[in-house]
Chains A and B, each alone.
Chain A
């Protein structure tokens, strides 16, 4: 009997752990045993799909699957909560570029997954959820721990299946895996009744394949490509808008080349962070509600918008009437339903992002004449600089350094994000919770590589950060650092995941930007509710550094500027999970800001401009 599944190993056995996780070394022992049960077919389907990790929590209805997993090469990471399992698998999928897998039992196990599945659905993250279900004969009788899981998850999955047939259950799982990853990615779910997984079957699952009714268009209509190319050549104020689809479609390189060759300023959406290097001259960074002023100016004033892999979410567009109102929109998307859903596409290009941008690159012969426009963009970059107000008399023109920071001033969050960025390599992965801290991470971390930004965009799920860091850690290269920029409120929602990080000795650094507020709400209350802080004040917060130590992680605390650099360096260097409780200025706010439904070009730089 193998000892590998459901491992619980003390940190000092890390070396062996790593060996175990090294899959390449352990596939040499010939063909696997034939399948004898539905549960084994499920696990075999996962193995056929190349799954290395699965995240989950045990329970009655899923026990047969766990029992089969016990003999598998797949490493199961037992999570502290199923929501964390879904987020970890989701983040794994984002970083690895192939579906992450989570498991839960029926009833509460399945419903605990729901937030994570909905999150993956909103962000088009590849995720496979396997849920136990009560035996088929009890379904519909309100049996113990019965929930209509396929019913509950239909609106939040790309597809789901109730596995009714032991001879097909392996193929159901293979199909779910293929569907989750192909085309526009998304979450899929297979509900596994216990009698089906327990049943005898010799049906070996076939290679994972999408159902025959599923087709994805790779190449865009060449006629529209030609028209779009003409439009680009004739543009005087062109801009590219790169969304999360660029990263998922592995089109970052092609988009970079295209933008640089034709000197087109590049804006990203929030999920698009990392699609284009933010330290490049052409980068206008992120647009939208808390995007940079210059990105919002550029998107508002461009005459041609080449939008790739974005669904024009309302946090990006602000009010539709004022969104890029002069721009002919060239919209590249693999999902036809995104074309003209929110913003009308003048040039609809349905297809795979990388393929279609390559088609465009081939079709565009001459770069647009946009010297003036580029100069304008540069001017906006300096006029609306993101330089934040440093609370120091000597701050002047010189770059802020911690040695110059006065001791009695509260630490500004932007400074902490920049310090974390500096303390880590370019390929470091950042995960976040949801709130102000997340926006500061977007704004002040300089993203240069795809698949290094792992956040909850569409659903905005507080508590995403830590479990996501766990999943990201296991998908990342060993030498890639993983940093979770969290909020105090968000961290509190899923911090039980620390037990997992400690048990698996995962090298992650959590920086809790602690404002003792659910700060984003407090900021809105100040701006829109006359400062009435209804239920946003969190001054009963635990001491996170001590809490971390109680879990067995390293705990740090920062109160003053002069501690920032050193403590971060120590925490990042620690080979294992660490938590820094960073006490930041509780009154710090996120700007620029476009209020909901507002005009992007009229972003507020201060509260009185709202």
Chain B
């Protein structure tokens, strides 16, 4: 045998002669019944993170989202009553396993103190500045009234209103203002807090790691089939 016509490779039963298992996983790595296509649909949720108030944190958080291809809808950041802490509020749209990943990856960043996904009943508010053509001031004012919008600025050609509220309300307001011709819009993205005495994000990492355990326990998407 010469070096070139030797059969290159190893001996053993070829692929078609090997037994194959019955099971299968879906693209999220979850074991599924081969008959059903079980995937998790994306859902929108609000995640609040308490972070160290220092340079680079926002870049680190937004970089995490882009490099891990997390679907992020809005991100707001602002100081808190503790000058060493800032709060970041994120709206993400991901299937459940993706939401878990977002939380865990955020928690992993060293300047992130604690992370929590807010309950559906959490208070969520957004603010938008809407600058419209003021050709018909009375009509514009009537629409503004409908959405409790406050006039912030007016000029012979324009009127600018501040709208606050839920995302749906803001979107409805913008849609309605559109009839006058919107010149510019600026939206803050969603801010959110948990209701009542429920604390949005715990001030200590201990709570974060407890919730990591909770997460792990909760991460059971499949009925135990054994």
A residues whose Cβ falls under 8 Å from a Cβ of B: 150-151, 154-155, 158-159, 162, 179, 211-217, 221, 223-224, 231, 234, 293, 297, 300-301, 312, 320-323, 325-329, 335-337, 339-346, 348, 350, 383-389, 391, 409-410, 585, 587-589, 591-592, 601-607, 609
The answer to whether A325 and B226 touch across the interface, beta carbons within 8 angstroms, is no
Q: Which residue of the partner chain B has the closest CB to A217?
A: B209
Does B28 sit at the interface, judged by CB under 8 A? Answer: yes
Q: Which residue of A lies closest to B51 (CB)?
A: A213
Asked if B108 is at the interface (CB within 8 A of a chain A CB), the reply is yes
- How far apart are the CA atoms of A301 and B19 in the complex, in Å? 9
Are A344 and B28 touching (Cβ within 8 A)?
yes
Q: Across the interface, do A339 and B219 meet the contact criterion of CB distance under 8 Å? A: yes
The residue of chain B having its C-beta at the shortest distance from the C-beta of A183 within the complex is B108
CB pair B3–A385 under 8 Å, yes or no, is: no
**Interface majority SS (helix, strand, loop, mixed), chain A:** loop
- Say whether B8 contacts A162, CB under 8 Å: no
B206 at the interface (CB under 8 A from A): yes
- Residues from chain B with a CB closer than 8 A to the CB of A323 are 25, 29
Is B104 part of the contact surface with A, judged by Cβ < 8 Å? Answer: yes
A322, B20: Cα distance in complex, Å: 10
| Residues in B neighbouring A383, C-beta threshold 8 A | 12-13
Q: State which of B31, B56, B205 has its C-beta within 8 Å of the C-beta of A154.
A: B56
How far is it, in angstroms, between the C-alpha of A384 and the C-alpha of B113 when the chains are bound? 50
Cα–Cα distance between A585 and B23 once the two chains are bound (Å): 41
Contacts of A605 in B (CB 8 A): 9-12, 14
The answer to whether A389 touches B8, judged by C-beta atoms less than 8 angstroms apart, is: yes
| For the complex of A and B, 10 pairs with smallest distance between CB atoms | A606-B9, A325-B23, A337-B104, A348-B216, A159-B110, A343-B29, A344-B30, A602-B15, A384-B12, A326-B23
What A residues does B6 contact at CB under 8 A? 389, 391
Q: Are A322 and B24 in contact (CB under 8 A)?
A: yes
User: In angstroms, how far is the closest chain B Cβ from the Cβ of A119?
Assistant: 17
Q: List 23 contacting pairs A-B, 8 Å CB cutoff, sorted by A.
A: A158-B110, A159-B111, A213-B110, A213-B111, A231-B226, A234-B226, A321-B27, A326-B21, A326-B23, A328-B226, A337-B104, A337-B105, A384-B12, A384-B13, A387-B10, A587-B3, A591-B10, A601-B15, A601-B20, A605-B12, A606-B7, A607-B8, A607-B9
Interface size on B, residues (CB 8 A): 63
Q: Are the CB atoms of A588 and B105 closer together than 8 Å?
A: no
Task: Report the bound CA distance from A329 to B60 in whole Å.
Answer: 32
Contact indicator A589/B8 (Cβ below 8 Å): yes
The answer to whether B29 touches A340 (Cβ under 8 A) is yes
Cross-chain contact of A337 among B29, B101, B222 (Cβ < 8 A): B101
CB distance from B17 to the nearest CB of A (A): 10
Tell me the complex Cα distance, A216–B205, Å: 10
A162 touches B56 (CB 8 A): yes
List B contacts of A607 (CB < 8 A): 8-9
Most buried by B among A179, A325, A410, A602: A325
Number of A-B pairs, beta carbon distance below 8 Å? 183
- Is B146 an interface position by the 8 A CB rule? no
Measuring CB to CB, which residues of chain B are less than 8 angstroms from any residue of chain A? 1-4, 6-15, 18-31, 52, 55-56, 59-60, 63-64, 67, 97, 100-101, 104-105, 107-113, 205-206, 208-209, 212-213, 215-217, 219-222, 224, 226
CA distance A216 to B10 in the complex (A): 45
Closest CB in chain A relative to B112 CB, distance in Å: 7
**Cβ–Cβ < 8 Å partners of B67 in chain A:** 155
Chain A residues with CB under 8 Å of B59's CB are: 151, 154
From the candidates B8, B29, B217, name the one contacting A588 in the complex (CB within 8 A). B8
- One of A213, A326, A336, A337 near B52 (C-beta < 8 A): A213
Nearest A residue to B225 by beta-carbon distance? A328
Minimum CB–CB distance from B15 to chain A (whole Å) comes to: 4
- What residue in chain B is nearest A608 (Cβ atoms)? B9
Whole-angstrom distance between the alpha carbons of A339 and B63 in the complex?
Answer: 21
A216-B209, A224-B217, A389-B6 given; 9 more Cβ-contact pairs under 8 Å: A217-B213, A312-B29, A328-B31, A336-B216, A384-B12, A389-B9, A587-B8, A601-B20, A605-B9
B146 to chain A, nearest CB (A): 45
Whether B30 lies near A601 (C-beta < 8 A) is: no
Q: Which A residues are CB-close (under 8 A) to B97?
A: 340, 344
**C-alpha spacing A234/B110, complex, angstroms:** 40
Bound CA span A383–B19, Å: 13
Interchain CA distance A322-B15 in the complex, whole Å: 14
- Measured CA separation A603–B14 after assembly (Å): 9
- Chain A residues closer than 8 Å to B60, beta-carbon distance: 154
A162, A224, A389, A603: the one contacting B7 at CB < 8 Å is A389
With known contacts A606-B10, A607-B8, A213–B205 Cβ distance under 8 A: yes
Tell me if B8 and A320 are in contact (CB < 8 A).
no
